[in-house]
Structure 1
Amino acid sequence: MVAYDYIIVGGGSAGSVLANRLSARSANKVLVCEAGQDTPPGQEPPEIRDSYSGTAYFDPRFHWTELKVHTQVVSHNNPDEDRPPLRKYEQARVLGGGSSINGQMANRGAPTDYQEWVDRGAEGWSWNEVLPYFKKVERDLDFDGPYHGKDGRIPVRRIPVEHWTGFAKAIAEACKGTGMAFLPDQNGEFVDGYFPVTHSNAAEQRVSAAMGYLDTETRKRPNLIISTNTQVTSLLFDGTRCIGVAALVDGKTTEFHAREVILSSGAIHSPAHLLRAGIGPVGHLKDMGIPVVAALPGVGQRLMDHPSISLSSFIRRRARVNEHTRRHIQLGIRYSSGLPDVPRGDMFVAVVNKSAWHAVGEQIASLLTFVNRTYSETGQVKLNSRDWRVEPTVEFNLLSDRRDLDRLMTGFRRMAALQMTPMVKAVTDNPFPAAYTDRVRKIGVVSAKNKLLTAIIARFLDGPATLRRYMIDNFVVEGFTFDQVMTDDDALEAFVRKAAIGVWHASCTCRMGRPDDPMSVVDTQGRVKGVHGLRVVDASVFPIVPCANTNFPTLMTAEKISDAIIAAG
């Protein structure tokens, strides 16, 4: 058995940062165990390197294909109530993790988010204390100054306004007409307005965490081993000390031992690893027949994501994605709902110029509205089985807080008002409330069959207006029409309750907090309470999900805890 100083379970965003930083000290022997495939420098799959993320995101080669979740509220008090449907939830299974398939949105969250982290027990994680690590992550290609990094491993940039699609320009003009401020830099001060979105991208190509942190020079380090196609099946313990992992490497069972194991498997699979090891709520562990190693009731609890809904429309040919960029999200909107005691900037809209990789996707634009500061935090991750092959039960319980439902309803109508402005109506047609249904998901899978099918449908959609309306009403819209939800509050609420999904920002299931907080799982350096030699470093340690896409907060978290690990020796 080979002994390491650190074993990192998961080569995603956090794992890539940790691997780079910990192996920079030559005395540290570091092993990365990644279940998915490698993305070697210069040999990354073209779908991953693509600036447009819709192909990688829907390619099953890069997913945990059996993972399904409940997004709507699950009632445990009324077992006779119909359970909401299970939905596929795309989680990356590839080196670089989510950063290899996500939308490349590079934002940070609000200063008030990190103050709340401190208030909830994450001492040392205030805005002024995390900002240096956000700056350490990035190499901003457009801006300098106190909010920006210039030497980081992840480049960030914005699409110039002159290169935006006609649809994005029309939405921006409509925003200007309502009195919104134009913000050249969304990662400057956290204020309301519309802005070119910041994304982790350079020269029209994705730069994932693996590309940025596990580059050729880093991989040459003799003290760093990156083992892909390596599925960790269990954590190994000697009493309450984690001493290593058991894993399948290319289908062969082996064990690796280490001074310390770091879970960086994401907010669904990191708590599942802990639970299978006997770390978690005592009642659940006993129900599963798992001996208790550490009683931590917070493991898997208070799962969070950003609830979202979408208003979509047909885009006229002249306003679609153009030759300047394959980036499909060029414009973002941040606004305040004005609800009492809710921080400003609590709502976000991604202006999506292309809804999918295929021909029909190029014809459909969306205003994707999500609750930036969500209060729904009753989700959970539980085991279905002690068997590592069986995906856990995942219940997001989105909209469990009425404030989230109310803000999505008003947000939908706010976006509808933009949709109905003359400048937006001039470049769109047939607006409709969109739902990410199984039918949409199935046609989104990258395949020759779907490419042919959508090409045929697209020709009809580009035909006469009456034919287009017929096609959209009968083959695209599911359940609710635009007129229904705009004139009937009950219909709008029913649509939001049924159609709301997360935006793949799973977090908070192994929260940082004070030692005396019974629901905290790790301390402010990611160390798991009640055991030794084990940390969690990924989005699961967030005390709350910040007002941002979670990739950059995850990279920041890994940078900050890496520093703490190195400082401790």
Structure 2
Amino acid sequence: MSAANPDRFDYIIVGAGSAGCVLANRLTEDPQVRVLLLEAGPGDRSLFIHMPSAFAYPLANDRFNWYYHSEPEPFMNGRRIYCPRGRVLGGSSSINGMVYIRGHALDYEGWAAQPGLAHWSYADCLPYFRHAETRAKGADDYRGGSGPLHVSTGACRNPLYDAFIEAGRQAGYARTEDMNGHRQEGLGPMDMTVHKGRRWSTAMAHLRPAMKRPNLQVRTRALVARVVFEPGSSPPRAIGVEVVNGAHADLIRAEREVILSGGAINSPQLLQLSGIGNPDELRRLGLKVVAPLRGVGENLQDHLETYVQVACKEPITLYSAMNPLAKLKIGAEWLLRGTGLGATNHFESGGFIRSEAGVKHPDLQYHFLPMAISYDGSSPASFHGYQAHVGPMRPTSRGHVKIRSVSPKEAPRILFNYMGTEQDRKEMRAAIRLTREIFAQPAFDRFRGAAVSPGDEVRSDAQIDAHIREHAESALHPSCTCRMGSADDPMAVTDGSARVHGVSALRVVDASIMPDVVSGNLNAPAIMMAEKLADTIRGRTPLPRSTAPYFVHPHWQTQQR
């Protein structure tokens, strides 16, 4: 295509987040292809984005964040659960906690067992995890050494990090040196998307280098109102998007494809605004039905977590860093040298365990933090303490995302139905009890003060359930609202190549197309999926399948640890 017409492109990518930045980079590696990347939010120049320890700031306000909240959750005392989503270059990779976790191999084996998804097995996905990554500790059969995404491992200088890992060992859980390698199960040091003391978002890893190419155009503060389809085409063919511009919308054309990468909330929202979704609900809002796909916005999954907090008897926690003078010193060291407490996300140890015998791969995840504080900083610490974030990995509750009106500016209705099943409640009870057991081990004897939350009085199933209803929060991993699956699956929205069923020239590439949420954080899997699908879109031969084995506990059927 000639570059002469500035409003005609080969590909239009909607959303410059974890997946969208990867696609923008990989598609423009072909100099004959012209790509437009649209982002509703601003650029990512804020120091609060790039300083790893400051991630609570963009999480806690709407400057770089859609700042969504759920509807009153029926199984969580009617609370509206906070659901931040990145609205900035880099998307949620620019405001998240920077934890790098891939999920378990059996998650991807589960995907591949579903019709039409055989090429999403662990052996197919691992090469793309490696392709995406440069690991500071070096490459091996599991880890990459030449990819744009830099990944480092926590130094664990605070003794509380090692105390958590050793307490796990004393409780009977193995130490794992690399939970993204052969063995996820166990406790150990955690990886983060931090490079030379700076957050390494997909904007840094992928978009910055790609923006030097003449065949990529990036537009910020560009809100897409809908996907436009060619009149009379059968099946309906996406030919571009309408971008809100004041009181009107401008049409921008795509010659090859429109690709939605807005994430698990915004991608189904935009599909519905474009006439793709449950036909009854679309007609109720006066929208023309382009493709009747009842699965759009359904199957919403997320990880819920709670904090198990304990007071610390020694003044070694991050509470010492919370006063203004300490923050000033931390910020100065980070600005001058890119080192110190400002250069880490502080989630430097954690791990995965199984909640009971008979569970084949870990269903509980830990992030350990040497401070007692809320994830987004909204409940500041007032004492020396430490905490484990813990929650179930494969929830059985399902929610939905539904537009309220035909306006792209109005937030959709989001309902997760957290703790809506007995299985989810059972796993969360186990999470608290097993965490208490770890914290009771000798490794914490010199540090352990009083239980803070939940208190010692919270013991019975009913008491733990009540505590969870009142205090648990999202781990910020919404997914699965445009799930991949065969055309015979009435709830599938996309096929195994991320193409939207019932239309042509339209794909969704982000965490919304996961058929089921993976056992871990979602940034690394979303990047992997975009890397893999970029090859699909370009018609390239997939990377050779991996033969690397993965760990499953030999006695998982009869032993919990």
TM-score range, shorter chain: 0.7 to 0.9
TM-score, normalised via structure 1 length = 0.84
Within a 5 Å distance, the mapping from 1:232-243 to structure 2 comes to: 232-239=224-231, 240-243=236-239
Residue by residue, what CA displacement relative to the aligned partner does 1:255-290 show, whole Å, maximum 9, x if unpaired? 211121100001011001011111011221122221
- 1:500 deviation in Å? 2.9
Distance 1:420 1:180 in 2: 14
SS at match of 2:473: coil
Distance 1:59 1:426 in 2: 38
- 1:218 deviation in Å? 1.8
**Matching residue within 180, 198, 210 for 1:218:** 210
Cross-structure match for 2:404: 384
**Matching residue within 130, 137, 144 for 1:142:** 137
The 8 Å contact of residues 201 and 207 in structure 1, kept in 2 or not, is answered as yes
The one-letter amino acid paired with 2:423 is: R
The 8 Å contact of residues 268 and 509 in structure 1, kept in 2 or not, is answered as yes
Cross-structure match for 1:177: 170
Matched, 1:432 2:437: no
Q: Which has the higher helix share?
A: 1
Cross-structure match for 2:475: 503
Residue by residue, what CA displacement relative to the aligned partner does 1:91-143 show, whole Å, maximum 9, x if unpaired? 11110011101111111111111111112232210000011110111101114
Cross-structure match for 1:444: none
The one-letter amino acid paired with 1:95 is: L
Within a 5 Å distance, the mapping from 1:242-253 to structure 2 comes to: 242-248=238-244, 253=249
Instruction: Indicate the percent of aligned positions where both proteins have the same amino acid.
Output: 33
Within a 5 Å distance, the mapping from 1:452-491 to structure 2 comes to: 482-486=455-459, 488-491=460-463
Distance 1:138 1:251 in 2: 43
**CA spacing shift, 1:282–1:307, aligned 2, 3 Å:** same
Cross-structure match for 1:91: 85
Unaligned runs of 5+ residues in structure 2 are 1-5, 322-339, 542-561
Residue by residue, what CA displacement relative to the aligned partner does 1:57-94 show, whole Å, maximum 9, x if unpaired? 224311113x21147347xxxxxxx9823233111111
Matched, 1:258 2:263: no
- 1:338 deviation in Å? 2.3
How many residues align? The count is 504
Matched, 1:554 2:521: no
Matched, 1:64 2:59: no
Distance 2:296 2:206 in 1: 29
**Matching residue within 428, 431, 454 for 1:408:** 428
Matched, 1:343 2:360: yes
- 1:364 deviation in Å? 4.3
The 8 Å contact of residues 167 and 315 in structure 1, kept in 2 or not, is answered as no
**CA spacing shift, 1:278–1:69, aligned 2, 3 Å:** same
Alpha-carbon RMSD across the aligned residues, in angstroms, is: 2.2
Distance 2:170 2:103 in 1: 26
TM-score, normalised via structure 2 length = 0.85
Cross-structure match for 2:550: none
- 1:352 deviation in Å? 1.7
Cross-structure match for 2:7: 2
Matched, 1:533 2:511: no
Cross-structure match for 1:331: 349
- 1:361 deviation in Å? 7.0
The worse-fitting range, judged by mean Cα deviation, of 380-389 and 549-558 is: 380-389
The one-letter amino acid paired with 2:424 is: D
Distance 2:150 2:390 in 1: 26
SS at match of 1:139: strand
Cross-structure match for 1:455: none
**CA spacing shift, 1:34–1:117, aligned 2, 3 Å:** same
Unaligned runs of 5+ residues in structure 1 are 75-81, 434-480
SS at match of 1:169: helix
The 8 Å contact of residues 301 and 381 in structure 1, kept in 2 or not, is answered as yes
Matched, 1:32 2:37: yes
Cross-structure match for 1:465: none
Residue by residue, what CA displacement relative to the aligned partner does 1:315-351 show, whole Å, maximum 9, x if unpaired? 35532148565331111121112254x3321111110
- 1:251 deviation in Å? 8.0
**CA spacing shift, 1:535–1:558, aligned 2, 3 Å:** same
SS at match of 2:529: helix
Distance 2:180 2:383 in 1: 29
**CA spacing shift, 1:427–1:55, aligned 2, 3 Å:** farther
Distance 1:211 1:71 in 2: 36
**Matching residue within 155, 163, 175 for 2:150:** 155
The one-letter amino acid paired with 2:224 is: V
- 1:525 deviation in Å? 1.2
The one-letter amino acid paired with 1:29 is: R
Distance 2:182 2:394 in 1: 17
- 1:564 deviation in Å? 0.4
Matched, 1:55 2:51: no
